[in-house]
Amino acid sequence: MGGFRKAKPEQAFIKEAIYGASGSGKTFTSLLIGEGLAKITGKRIAFIDTERGSDFYSQAVKERKIHPEAFDFDALYTRSLSESLEAVKDIDLKTHGVIIVDSITHLWETAKNSFDGKMTKAGTLPFHAWGKIKKPYKEFINMLISMPCHVIICGRQGNDFAEDEETGELKCTGHKMKAEGETPYEPHILIRLESIKGKNVDSYPIAHIEKDRTGILAGMAIEYPDFDNLIKPLLPILGHKQAMIESEEETASHDAEKNTEEDIKKEAKSFELLEHFESRFKLANDREEAEAIAKEITPDVKKQMTIKDVATLKEIYLETIKRKELKAKK
């Protein structure tokens, strides 16, 4: 049943997006987080790897200062959006409790490159192509956000540009994830990773929390991000049920069904009103009586009728007036 109900905490899993420049530590950080989540769920990590970036982390490297041991995960090596979508649809959630996508940037590029039609004169995708391009991509993102498992989405960093009001020149105003524009807004937590380099010290990663719907980490800058400082603080507020989000296709189907029902009701009401006024026009004794009936057909009445029936009713009225005028002349 629709309508408002008392709000309940129905987020049982971490849904997080991480982006950053090359070398900022996206893959390593996502595996640190994924490993911690896998341990508490007692399940495995499913890693969609679009750039073979996880290869060195699947083996032990004693020279690695942090986590020299090999990470244990299952990988799918692909840049195919359709293959990634099918793999997520078929995933066994009894086995896998964490999904890592690295990187979503490549999957979005694949979605755009799937268009094989005619480009614009400027070499860009035509407006009409975007709906078809975005459909499987949005289905993929929606599925990840709704699934009863933990999800980490990694993406490359791009720059935001804006026109300078004084000079008219474009200048960089900030950073963004290189993906479809709505992607960063979907997960509950958005992190920008940065590698800080200083004099006489080794570089180190820092996580800028750009969005946190829990409010626990909001606005923080966390050095050496890992499972303990990024995820552990959030675990106590996770619920026991994962809310499902309807896909655009499902929502459109429900809306279309509702619209069809309303259209059927309107057509029935419209036909009823048409018959009502038509019979009254036929019984009108003279033009004055017909005009009085016509005044009852107010804008509110017309809103309850179809355009076709309103036009038919107008023709009936005009014919009635014409007939009454001929009768009066005789």
Domains of the chain in sequence order: 15-244 (3.40.50.300), 251-329 (no CATH)
Across 6-14, average pLDDT = 84
Closest CA to 29 of 52, 5, 54, 62: 54
- pTM (2 d.p.): 0.73
The yes-or-no verdict on residue 124 having pLDDT over 50 is yes
Report the distance separating Cα 174 and Cα 194, nearest Å. Answer: 13
Helix axes 248-283 and 130-146, enclosed angle (nearest 10) = 120
Q: What is the pLDDT of residues 27-62, one digit of tens each?
A: 999 999 999 999 999 999 999 999 998 999 999 999
Closest CA to 192 of 213, 165, 211, 168: 211
The bridge status of strand 189-198 relative to strand 201-212 is antiparallel
* Token reading at 58: 């699947």
Q: What is the pLDDT of residues 269-328, one digit of tens each?
A: 998 999 999 999 888 888 888 889 899 999 999 999 899 889 998 998 888 888 877 777
